[in-house]
A and B are shown apart, each in its own frame.
Chain A
Amino acid sequence: MIPDLVVGLAAIVQYAAAALALRVPRIIRREPAWVFIVAVAFLMAIRRSIVLYRSLSHNTAHPTDLLGECVALAISVLMLVGMARLGPFLMSIVRSRDELRQKTGHLRERVKELNCLFAMADLVSRPEASMEEILQGTVDLVPSGWQYPEITCARVQWGNQAFDTGNFEETPWTQSCDLLVYGERVGCVQVCYLQDKPPCDEGPFLQEERSLINAIAGRLGRIIERRQTEDDKAALQTQLHQAQKMEAVGLLAGGVAHDFNNLLTVIRGNAGRVRGMLAADHKAHEALIVLEQAAQQAAGVTRSLLTFSRGLPVEKKPLDLCAVVEESTRLLRRMIPAAIELDVDVQREPPLWIRADSTQLQQVVLNLAINARDAMPDGGTLRVAVAPAGESDAGELVDSSSSAALHGRLEVTDTGVGVPLEIRERIFEPFFTTKERGQGTGLGLSVVHGIVEDHGGRITVQSQVGVGSTFTIVFPCVRPEPASEEPSTPATITPQGHGELILLAEDDAHTRGIIALTLESLGYRVLQAADGLAVLDICERYRQKLRLFILDLDLPKCSGLECISEIRGRGMTTPVVAITGNVALGLDIPDCETVLLCKPFGMPELASVVWSALGGDARWEARS
């Protein structure tokens, strides 16, 4: 009985051990060696089952060996314990192996990524490489950085340009990253698998490949930024050199023009003098007139030169760009032949007001139009257009102080011969001309350039030989000036006298001289006195003829107030304009025939006061 119990127990333990052994292959994933171990465990359990069966069926041919069965039971228990402990141990081994495999895979991808980035850095470091070469080289490198290079294709889009691996086609298995330059999207980098592959972290792609495409896009963005900065710097340097050259030429031209102007003054002056000395019918008259005219024309050339060099004073004020251009085009119609069609396109909304000198602005339009006319000897179309400038046009303005929100664009386009690229940079230089000798001074465009720069604007030219040229000028706009606004200073003094005699008394000779000039210009006759005693003396001598006194109250020897009292004391009711800088003095004015004019005052104001004091209002009313 006891041996049967031992055999049965050993069989159960061995089955349990075999069951545990069965679990192990799942852990070690179909490892063939383990099949043998499981088989041995099961065979041993079956062996124990057979022994137990025989014992229970009292088969005496095979008596149960108690000692042997006890040993078998002990072995079974040990097997069970061993199997129970072997599972976790194997699990840890398998886990380590998987981790190792994964890390090796990561490392391999990392090496690929680094190789790709290194090759890209190598490409970029070549100073002679153009941006296009860099982008194409990068695209060619991309497949080597991915898991399946043989089925990987790539494309980089940059603006309207695209660079790809040649076999590129968009598939459902695509990885993409935006190309950012200064934070703005300018394109993208795309990597596609041409065949489906087992899913990984991001579709068929690995996490490392996402990092790699991001790194490539980021690096390309920075390269483009750097190249653009370098290009901008180079362009600015070219502009600076050009500006410096123009500045130097401008200064030189200004200096030459100044000396020339003096010489022309001498020529003109002496020609006039000689003409004055000759009899009216002298034969030399005509020649002298021609000489004077030539000098006059030459003075026009020096004037152009001085305008170019900004040596001439200009009067800038807010102007409606459209109105000035329309006015200029009216003049143009007379200057261009019938074979040239004039197309004027002026956009009036929004209003484009610029701060400019109207004469100079007209000169700009006329010079550009004349240039266009000369570029179309066989006829064509001359287009003059005004419109608000786009942001890109306005952005070209060099003048950083120009903070205008709105910019006006003036375009003069012709369908003429065009300007070859090699001379395009020189066309704004003074005396540079492609016209035949005697047909052009070479100052037209340089004057335009000088004027535009002086107005805070910028001029650019686009041209194609045989097709035509477009000159684009961009001006910063100012606030429109209300049409009703009066000019701050009147241009002339309007009220006029009719030879009335005025006694002007002022101790400062210079001020007196200037007031006298104004009064004489207005048509009055003026007697001057430097002090109070002179006033009384002249008053006595011209008593009957004097129509007005203009007296400074602060006169030496006899003050203005004393003079007025004396004049009134002599029975004269002649009106007096009393000038003073001290209003308190004016409070003592003795009569209603005396008006007070307080300093500071302008000449127009003086003219009005004098006119009124002389009864101008009444005179005007009587006349009208």
Chain B
Amino acid sequence: MKEAISVLVVDDHAMVRQMLTNRLDEEPDITVVAGVGTADDAVTEAVRLEPSIVLMDIDMPGMLCFDAARTIGTQCPDTRIVFLSAFFHDRYIEQAMAVHAWGYITKSEPEDAVVEAIRRVSTGVAYFSPEVQARIVVDAQGAKLAHPQRSRVSTLSERELEVLRYIARGLTKKGIARTMHLSVNTVNRHTANIMAKLDIHDRVELARFAIREGLAEA
């Protein structure tokens, strides 16, 4: 008998997580091995359980979902990430492609789309909408989204992007330092660099910018 597709469900809303788990468990060929509420837990559980697929909501507290996806991709090369989001957003898709996500589903799609996506991804076929497919370009580094928005975000380093996301979530510098295991001085330096690169000199404006660019949700 063919082995069931093991799925790790990651969503910070317990009810959504539960609903997805219940729905997927109804399928005989899919087994939800765990459901977690944070991206940090997702990494821990993915490393422990090595599921075939991680179904992950995009806006996660704590360690951010794209960073978590990158870590999971490094530590569990056979695990494939499928992102779930309330929105169809270029910036999200671009980031998802950058961390080699296998699928991107919006929550407005019927529930069956999730089941379909999991089945297809498990057979080695990605799951993206036709609009996204039409914009995918394959180059020497792999697949990515064509004509990514050439916004000022592209000037930021990974670390600075992470700091910006935390700023957008309203964390204080101390809070960011604690979360990222950095000194406050380093966070200050990153913040100064971000402000200089984006030419925005106000934390509220930075938050607005991050939300507009899809780095954080309003």
Q: Which of B1-52 contact A (CB under 8 A)?
A: 13, 15-16, 18-19, 22-23, 26
Q: Are A510 and B121 in contact (CB under 8 A)?
A: no
With both beta carbons as reference points, the residue of chain B lying nearest to A308 in the complex is identified as B218
Q: Which of B80, B138, B211 contacts A599 (CB 8 A)?
A: B138
- The answer to whether B173 has its CB under 8 Å from any CB of chain A is no
User: Given A266-B15, A599-B139, is A313 in contact with B134 using a C-beta cutoff of 8 Å?
Assistant: no
Q: Which of B126, B131, B146 contacts A516 (CB 8 A)?
A: B126
- Determine, out of A99-107, A177-185, A489-497, the stretch whose residues face the partner at the interface: A489-497
Mark contacts of A470-495 with chain B using CB atoms, 8 A cut-off: 1 yes-contact digit, 0 otherwise: 00000000000000000011111100
- The answer to whether B159 has its CB under 8 Å from any CB of chain A is no
Q: Are A254 and B211 in contact (CB under 8 A)?
A: yes
Q: Are A601 and B143 in contact (CB under 8 A)?
A: no
A261 to B121, CA, bound (A): 26
Q: Which residues of B contact A490 (CB under 8 A)?
A: 134
- The answer to whether A4 has its CB under 8 Å from any CB of chain B is no
Q: Are A602 and B217 in contact (CB under 8 A)?
A: no
- Determine, out of A87-95, A116-124, A156-164, A268-276, the stretch whose residues face the partner at the interface: A268-276
Mark contacts of A534-574 with chain B using CB atoms, 8 A cut-off: 1 yes-contact digit, 0 otherwise: 00000000000000000000000000000000000000000
Q: Which of B38-90 contact A (CB under 8 A)?
A: 59, 80, 86-90
A489 to B146, CA, bound (A): 8
Number of interface residues, chain A, beta carbon within 8 A: 55
Q: Which of A350-368 contact B (CB under 8 A)?
A: none
Q: Which residues of A contact B18 (CB under 8 A)?
A: 266
Q: Are B19 and A514 in contact (CB under 8 A)?
A: no
Q: Which residues of A contact B26 (CB under 8 A)?
A: 273
Q: Which of A247, A265, A491 contacts B107 (CB 8 A)?
A: A265
Q: Are B90 and A313 in contact (CB under 8 A)?
A: yes
Q: Is the interface of A mostly helix, strand, loop or mixed?
A: helix
Q: Are A600 and B102 in contact (CB under 8 A)?
A: no
22 A-B pairs in the complex with CB atoms less than 8 angstroms apart: A247-B204, A250-B218, A251-B218, A254-B218, A261-B107, A262-B15, A262-B16, A265-B16, A273-B22, A273-B23, A311-B211, A489-B146, A511-B142, A514-B143, A517-B133, A518-B136, A520-B125, A528-B124, A581-B139, A602-B135, A602-B138, A603-B136
Beyond A269-B111, A510-B102: 6 further Cβ-contacts under 8 Å? A265-B86, A311-B211, A511-B143, A514-B126, A517-B128, A603-B134
Give me the interface of B with A, judged by CB distance under 8 Å. Answer: 13, 15-16, 18-19, 22-23, 26, 59, 80, 86-91, 100, 102, 107-108, 110-111, 120-121, 124-128, 130-131, 133-140, 142-143, 146-147, 204, 207-208, 211-212, 214, 217-218
